[in-house]
Amino acid sequence: MPTNILMPALSPTMEKGNLARWLKKEGDAIKSGDVIAEIETDKATMEYEAVDEGTLAKIVVPEGTHDVAVNSVIAVLAGEGEDVKAAALSAGKAAPPKPAPKAEPAKAAPPPSPRPAQQPAPQPRAEAAAPRTGSNRIFSSPLARRFAKESGIDLQRVSGSGPHGRVIARDIDAAKTSKGLRAPGVATLATGAALASSMSEQQVRALFEDGSYDFVPHEQIRKVIAQRLTASTQTIPHFYETVDCDIGKLMAAREEINEAAPKDKDGKPAYKLSVNDFVIKALALALQRVPNANVSWTDGGMLKHKHSDVSVAVALPGGLITPIIRQAESKSLSAISNEMKELAGRARAGKLRPQEYQGGTTSVSNLGMYGIKDFTAVINPPQSTILAVGTGEERAVVRNGQLAVATIMSVTLSCDHRAVDGALGAELIRAFRTLIENPVMMVV
C-alpha cells in the first residue's frame, strides 16, 4: 500500500512550515536517507530526508506553499512493485508513514507551565461609545456618517452599537428619536492601542478607509516571535537592574589584542574581537561566579545549569534569532569571536540547526552599534535573565573629586523574579561589571 509523506515537525515549536523546494520530482526513485525537500521552519531552512524507499508517485503540496500544517500530507510514495499511477490517485488515502526523523533539540529546561490567569473582578459595564483616537476622531461607518450629516446629528453624542463601539447606520436611526443620544461632553475612554489590540484584521482595516497602506502578510518567524514574546511578558514577572560600566581598559585591550592577532599568508588576521565578544565572555563568567542566577524556573523546581550557554540576538530581515555559544565560560575570546561570526552568518542565511538556537541559559541583546544608550529586553523562556547592552560613549565622570572623561557603556539586566530576586540579580550584574571593567580577568 502506498505511503503518505507528511510535513515533519523539525523543531519543538513548529506548528506550520513552508515547503520551500522539492529536490525530487514525480516518478523519481527514492532511497532511505535521500534529501527530498527543503522545509522552512520558524527559524531556518532545513533538509527533509526520506525514511522509506520507493517511487515518488504524487506531490500533493507544490513547492513555494506557505503555512503547511505539521503532519499534513505533502506527497505520496509508491512502494516496491506498486502501481505508481494507482498510488498517485490514492493521495490522502495512503497508509501513514513511519515516524519522520525530527531534528534533535538541544537539552534545555522545559518552559514554565503557565499558571491559570486570575479572573479579574467584574467591572460595571460602561455605556457603549464611539471610540476615539487622540485626535478625537469618531469611528463610524461611511453610511452612518452620511445619515448623521443629513439629519444634523453630532456623532460625538451617539452611542455606537457596532464592533468595539463603532457607530453604524442603525445608531443614527435611533438617535433621530433621541434614543442612544448622550448628554454633550459624555464619552467613554478608550485608547486606540487598546482598541486595535483586540480587533480583527478586517476591523483594523476599516479604520483606514482611504486605503493608504500596504498589507504585508506575517512571515512564520514573525508569528512565532509574537507568540513567544507575548507569552513571556504575560507569564514572567520581569524586573530590571541597570549599571554603567567604564570600558576604557576593555577598548585598549581589544585594540592591542587585535593588533597582535596572527595573520595568514594573505594578511588576514586569525580573529578580530568585538566589544560584544567581551560581553559574552564576561556574562558567562559572571554566571559561574553567581551560580544561583544560572537557573531556569519550572513549577516543580529550579534547574541549576552547570555551564553558561549564552544566546546572542542576531537581527534578521523578518525578525531575530538567538544562536548559542555553548559553554562560553571555558572558551577564549578569540574562539567566541570566530564562532559568533560563523553562527551569525549561517543565521542570516537560514542555515542554523535547531540545537544551535534552542536552549541557552541566558541571553545578550546588543543595540550599541545602533547608538542606543540603554534599553530593556524581554526574557527568552525558559531562561531567567537577559542582558541589554547599550553603546559605549564618552561621558563626564567624577574621579577623586575631579571631572574626567571616560568611555561608559550602560547595561540593563532583565530578571525573572520567580527565579532571580533583586539582590541575586544585583550580585550577577555587579560580577559582570567587575569583569567587563577589568578584561585581564577574562584572559588569565
Decide the pairing of beta strands 324-325 and 362-366. unpaired
pLDDT at 38 over 60: yes
Which tens digits make up the pLDDT trace of 93-122? 555 544 444 444 444 444 444 444 444 444
pLDDT at 444 over 80: no
pLDDT at 181 over 70: no
Min mean pLDDT across 18-22, 64-68, 95-99 is at: 95-99
From CA 248, how far away is CA 408, in angstroms rounded?
8
pLDDT at 350 over 80: yes
Cell of 332: 577564549
pTM of the model: 0.63
Mapped to the 3 state alphabet, what secondary structure does 277-298 carry? HHHHHHHHHHHHHCHHHCEEEC
Active site residues: 417
- 157-162 contact pairs (CB < 8 A, 24+): 157/181, 157/182, 157/183, 157/184, 157/186, 158/130, 158/182, 159/127, 159/128, 159/129, 159/130, 160/128, 160/129, 160/130, 160/131, 161/128
Q: What is the dihedral of CA 286, 366, 437, 381, to 10 degrees?
A: -10
CA atoms within a 13 Å half-sphere pointing along the CA-CB vector of 128: 15
What pLDDT score does 375 carry? 97
What pLDDT score does 152 carry? 76
Residue 260's pLDDT band (cuts 50, 70, 90)? very high
CB 169 within 8 A of CB 144: yes
pLDDT at 427 over 70: yes
Residue 399's pLDDT band (cuts 50, 70, 90)? very high
Q: Could you count the other beta carbons within 10 Å of the beta carbon of residue 298? A: 16
Q: How confident is the model over 292-299, as a mean pLDDT?
A: 96
From CA 48, how far away is CA 36, in angstroms rounded?
6
Q: Which of 311, 277, 330 is nearest to 436 (CA)?
A: 277
Q: Could you count the other beta carbons within 10 Å of the beta carbon of residue 440? A: 10
From CA 314, how far away is CA 306, in angstroms rounded?
25
Residue 83's pLDDT band (cuts 50, 70, 90)? confident
Residue 146's pLDDT band (cuts 50, 70, 90)? confident
pLDDT mean across residues, the chain: 83
Residue ranges of domains in the chain, CATH in brackets: 3-89 (2.40.50.100), 142-206 (4.10.320.10), 223-442 (3.30.559.10)
From CA 21, how far away is CA 95, in angstroms rounded?
24
Q: How confident is the model over 280-288, as a mean pLDDT?
A: 98
Q: What is the dihedral of CA 240, 246, 252, 258, to 10 degrees?
A: 0
143 or 111, higher pLDDT? 143
3-state SS assignment for residue 324: strand
Dihedral over Cα of 37, 39, 44, 45: its sign: positive
What pLDDT score does 186 carry? 36
